[in-house]
Homo-oligomer: A and B are copies of this chain.
Amino acid sequence: MCGVGRRLEPTRSSMNRRSCALVVVGNEILSGKIQDSNAFFAARELRAAGVALERIVVVPDELDAIADEVRGCAARCDFVVTSGGVGPTHDDLTLEGVGRAFGRKLILNQELAALINEHSSGRSNPARLKMAEIPEGAILNHASELWFPTVQLENVYILPGVPQLFEPKLRMIAERYRSDPFFIRVIYTSATESIIAAYLNDCMARFPELMLGSYPKFDDADYRVKLTLESKDRDYLARAFDYLVGLLPREAVLRTQ
Contact = CB atoms under 8 A, between A and B. Distances in A.
Contacts of A195: 125, 127
Given A90-B201, A194-B128, A212-B90, A30 B8 contact: no
A249 B91 CA distance: 21
A90 to B, nearest CB: 5
A57 B55 contact: yes
Contacts of A48: 32
A53 B40 contact: no
Contact of A91 (B8, B31, B33, B54): B8
A32 B43 contact: yes
Nearest to A29: B43
A193 B127 contact: yes
A33 B214 CA distance: 12
B194 A88 contact: yes
A89 B214 contact: yes
Contacts of A89: 193, 196-197, 200, 214
Contacts of A165: 218
A27 B29 CA distance: 22
Residue of A52, A197, A201 most packed against chain B (CB within 10 A): A197
Given A4-B65, A33-B228, A27 B213 contact: yes
A31 B47 contact: yes
Contacts of A101: none
B57 A56 contact: yes
Interface of A: 1, 4-5, 7-8, 27-36, 39-40, 43-48, 52-65, 68-69, 87-91, 123, 125-128, 130, 162, 164-165, 182, 193-198, 200-201, 204, 211-216, 218, 228, 230
